[in-house]
Amino acid sequence: MSSVSISLTGESRRYDVLVGAGISADARGHQHGRDRVAVLADRRVTALHGPLLDGAPTLEVEAGESLKTMDGLGRALEFCAASGLSRRSLLIAYGGGTVGDLGGLAASLFKRGIDVLQVPTTLLAQVDASVGGKTAINLPSGKNLAGTFHQPAGVLCDTNLLVTLDDAELSSGLGEVIKTAIIGGDETLTLVERLTPQLLDRDPAALAEIVEACVRVKARVVLSDHEERGPRRVLNLGHTFAHAIEHAAGFGAVPHGVAVGVGLALAAHASERTLGAPGSLTERTVRLLDRAGLPCSLEALREAYGLAGQLTPAALRDGLNHDKKGQVGAPEFVLARGEGDVIMGLHLGEDLLSELLA
């Protein structure tokens, strides 16, 4: 079982992200030195792949944005208590991004902080959500508004788990892959363009190569800014629009990676208008989104998901007002001036916003 190890050093700890086929079996090794281990698991993942650790207390949950609520957090914390976890214990999050977000937040809060091991099971979670220590739940007012930074004890990206993803989940993950590739630069973007057909066929070697490439890009960014106070905010490329879409549609109505894909297309058009970005970058972005089976515009998204009544310009503008990066009434955007040349902290004029959100 070969794997690639990518090390991250946080302000308080060093941890490794391991990428490889079958690497989730390494979770057993993380039991050493622990007085107890418990697992928060996506019910669908355990049905497909079996329990992560035989005999460990396990709370199976229904994954999705509906999990990331105060009720969901309370249930996870009560599970930690019922499992008898101490500050020498380990909580393992075994599932996609929503399970990882909830598990990480619960671990950061229980007894003022216990260790969490992330075992992401979706492409989106492996390339993005599991790395960097961001945890959160949603509030009715907006996405990821309540959370902490809590670096994991480790991350196990088992590419075997990606083979069973359905087409929609795989495409959603590719939304974050494309975002990361634009941030990474021309070499990473070219790699994604070349491997997209193999990724859609779930080729194990291609999946491993892309997960490794994306994790390396994210690790490089995270290492410069652990708590998103500066350079790390480039990782929000396309996300201000995406979170507005999710807010307007209702959390869970549009998969996160799908919303990110439309957000990337909108950001590309905004980049042309405000930064003089080349049209070739917009063309590459839209072409990749289309090849990945993702909507490339708000119009296409409304039609694909039957959300014409929800994704109105007014509702989207209201969603932008809940942007957690910006100031009150002034959403902040991250745009790309070119491949690997990403600018953060930007504000867009009302006329341009009205045009983009139409």
DSSP characters over 53-100:
STTS-EEEE--SGGGSSHHHHHHHHHHHHHTT--TT-EEEEEESHHHH
Among 169, 176, 246, 339, the one annotated catalytic: 176
Are residues 26 and 16 in contact, defined by beta-carbon separation less than 8 angstroms?
no
**Active-site residue (options: 68, 143, 243, 302):** 243
Catalytic residue at 236? yes
| pLDDT higher than 70, residue 324 | no
Minimum mean pLDDT range among 10-14, 44-48, 257-261, 286-290: 10-14
| 239 a catalytic residue | yes
Model pLDDT for residues 116-143, shown as the tens digit of each residue: 999 999 999 999 989 989 999 999 888 8
Distances in Å between the alpha carbon of 16 and those of 9, 121, 231, 232? 9, 17, 21, 19
112: annotated active-site residue: yes
Q: Choosing from 138, 169, 236, 247, which is the catalytic residue?
A: 236
The reply to whether 43 belongs to the active site is no
Residue in 49, 150, 247, 256 annotated catalytic: 256
Q: Is 243 a catalytic residue?
A: yes
Q: pLDDT tens digit string along 6-46?
A: 988 766 678 999 999 999 999 999 999 999 999 999 999 99
Q: Per the residue annotation, which of 30, 49, 68, 134 is the catalytic one?
A: 134
Q: Could you identify the residue written with the tokens 């996160």?
A: 256
Q: Residue 197: which pLDDT band, with cuts at 50, 70 and 90?
A: very high
pTM for this model (two decimals): 0.93
CB 279 within 8 A of CB 335: no
- In percent, the amount of the chain with pLDDT more than 90 equals 87
d(CA 22, CA 2): 9
Instruction: Retrieve residue 340's tokens.
Output: 């690997």
Tokens of 191: 């790699």
* pLDDT reading at 345 higher than 70: yes
Predicted pLDDT of residue 328:
54
The residue from 68, 179, 233, 239 that is catalytic is 239
| Domains by residue range for the chain, with CATH | 4-164 (3.40.50.1970), 171-356 (1.20.1090.10)
Structure-block tokens of residue 156: 């196990």
Taking residues 83-90, what's their average pLDDT?
98
Mark whether 284 is an active-site residue. no
DSSP 347: -
Q: Is 347 a catalytic residue?
A: no
Q: What is the DSSP letter of 137?
A: E
The one catalytic residue among 14, 112, 229, 350: 112
Residue 296 near residue 262 (C-beta atoms within 8 A): yes
Question: Catalytic one among 65, 212, 228, 246?
Answer: 228
The yes-or-no answer on residue 218 being catalytic is yes
